[in-house]
Structure 1
């Protein structure tokens, strides 16, 4: 039996392209589809759109986390997620492990003939959004043997958004998440690592659903579709490429230009989300302190009671590589505690 993507019992989360309700496109890390069903088997019908890496999706079936590799040939494929399940009710959470190194079009699930799709619990009322880079996506998070060390060689197999500090924080705060983050991204175009050689920054991508130049035309996002209570902006790590001008001279023209654009971006988010608390941060991945100093200066310039600068215990000095699961746990504990300290009223 086919369960079409527009079935009202399915529960979607994330900034998803629903222009075609029968073929939604999932783009961002942490984007997910939930379903509660009866029967003994489950399949998913998907077309993958690959830019780089070997692309995998993650899923939980009855609380057990699994993953599967997607084809890269742009053809509709049917993937078996479960078979020989015990009779009874089952729960699925299918989620995007990786950033827009790929997107995928979802065409539905297949369950046993005569099986049923049941209502899931309501989503949490609290809402969070993260604007960040690969750390916020959970890239290379599963390479736990390399905690505190540079990354191992890999083809994407260690990346898992479930273990990002971002999704961990949202779960600890019982909040929905839109993780509108992208590996390698900086604030400004022509810097960072994303979409080489014509690098794209957050300024060009934050208001898009699809935005990867390898994967077709861009599409604008309607911000009224999701209004977060708390926004975390974790940008400033990749801006030191190709030149770390902030480390070289805090007062240079380039450094002041970055602060000007960063302030404009934060003020735009304040306009889009007039009631949201906005947390300005970087991460524990090694970087020069002048980036955090710049963020603090902008926070002071803005001077709003709902814009906050947050530093982790090991901010900018915790690791030369990506954040592994134990490190993400510590980051999320600290961030969740800080957000909690702002009071329950921020969620109203």
Structure 2
């Protein structure tokens, strides 16, 4: 077996870049095997090469044997994946997916018994998409479906905060590298695990309600099957219905609304209230029975002196006055930290989110 490079990340996480196939592995379990469980907006146009593009996209299965490798075909070479064996999320293997098709050896020193594996997309659509092609396991090994996915379902619409941008960056350094982005430790993912719920994350760093750092907004983006840029793919909203919908937007609107090269004339507060309310109405049309939680933060858009929390409250009040009683707000407090929230902040916000969802749903 030849390993080009292994780099230690954090205390107990290994980053595998390009790894040759172990001689102990003898057969491939293709991606269309019914033993694989998929969670997320995943494109199954080619069942043998399902496309993972949204942050938090997951593949799970149970296998026997002492070794396992993951087969990925990545578009860009910028994506990162957590590989969680036997539920040990505190010490995941981390794959930096190279461009093209590669086999990533994970371990050949496992106990020769039953194991679970979870393949989890840390990065988002701006890092591109990846085709999952299956697992390599010993010839005598078998696979079976993992435990059923949770019945509870949460969907979150958001920006870089929701994606987990920079959450593993150092506190006094940059936070824009794909390697620092770990959606598994984002507030939404942490809260979903706390609540034993499936999670779909529909997020894009830089996106806003009326203005983004690029030429499309969440109203253009929310209904896509594939997360890479602004495209014509369509998600089937009837295929997966959340119990709770969370919206966490406006951080980028706050940063850009005075930029006359992007927005001219400058929108009024009423314009933002109406645009936000219209987006919530769109989601309500897709999900008539869902609880909708309109959140904000925890960057400076949610600061005490900021106007953006009140804009959200007025938009929500507008919906409530129109008869929508299953909608509420949650403002994550701004701590004064001026960069993207780190894992510590995500953990704090996850606790607030889980508590609010319990209040709205009665979930224990």
TM-score normalized with structure 2 length: 0.84
Partner in structure 1 of residue 122 of structure 2: 97
Give the equivalent residue in structure 2 for 1:334: 352
The yes-or-no answer on 1:325 pairing with 2:343 is yes
Instruction: Provide, for residues 104-138 of structure 1, a one-character-per-residue CA deviation record: whole Å limited to 9, x for no partner.
Output: 01111111101000231111110000000111111
* d(CA) in 2 for partners of 1:141, 1:253: 31
Q: CA 1:240–1:343 in structure 2 vs 1: closer, same or farther (change >3 Å)?
A: closer
1:49 aligns to what?
A: 75
Give, in angstroms, the shift of residue 45 of structure 1: 1.6
Equivalence for 1:31: 57
Q: Is the 8 A contact 1:54 1:155 kept in 2?
A: no
Matched, 1:168 2:190: yes
Which position in structure 2 is the counterpart of 1:275?
Answer: 289
- Tell me: CA distance 1:242–1:228, structure 2 relative to 1, closer, same or farther (3 Å): same
CA RMSD of superposed structures (Å): 1.9
Q: 1:295 aligns with which of 303, 307, 312?
A: 312
Aligned ranges for residues 258-269 of structure 1 at < 5 Å? 258-269=272-283
Partner of 2:43: 17
SS in 2 for 1:228: coil
In 2, the alpha carbon distance for the partners of 1:269 and 1:243 equals 24
What residue number does 2:92 align with?
Answer: 65
Hey, what's the Cα distance between the residues in 2 that align with 1:132 and 1:270?
Answer: 16
Aligned to 1:249: none
Q: CA deviation at 1:218?
A: 3.2
1:200 aligns with 2:216: yes
- SS of equivalent residue, structure 1 residue 36: strand
**Matched position secondary structure for 1:45:** strand
Tell me, in whole angstroms, the C-alpha distance in 1 between the residues paired with 2:65 and 2:287: 42
Distance 1:272 1:178, change over 3 A: same
CA distance in 2, matches of 1:33, 1:222: 20
Listed one character per residue, the Cα deviations across residues 7-51 of structure 1 (whole Å, up to 9, x for unaligned) are: 11111101111111111100111111001100111112211112x
Structure 2 SS opposite 1:192: coil
How many matched pairs? 322
8 Å contact from structure 2 (residues 208, 253) kept in 1: yes
**In the alignment, structure 1 residue 242 sits paired with structure 2 residue 256:** yes
Instruction: Give the Cα–Cα distance (whole angstroms) in 1 for the partners of residues 47 and 73 of structure 2.
Output: 15
Q: Distance in 1 between matches of 2:109 and 2:328?
A: 50
Correspondence 1:212 to 2:247 = no
Q: Once the two structures are superposed, what CA deviation does each residue of 1:182-235 show, in whole Å capped at 9, x if it has no partner?
A: 1111123xx222xx4xx2210111000124349xx5311000111000000001
TM-score (norm 1): 0.87
The Cα of 1:256 is off from its aligned counterpart by 2.3
Runs of 4+ displaced beyond 4 Å: none
1:43-192 to structure 2, matched below 5 A, reads 43-50=69-76, 54-62=78-86, 63=88, 64-72=91-99, 75-100=100-125, 101-143=127-169, 145-146=170-171, 151-152=173-174, 154-188=176-210, 191-192=211-212
Q: 1:211 to 1:94 in 2, by over 3 A?
A: closer
Deviation of 1:154 after TM superposition, in Å, equals 5.0
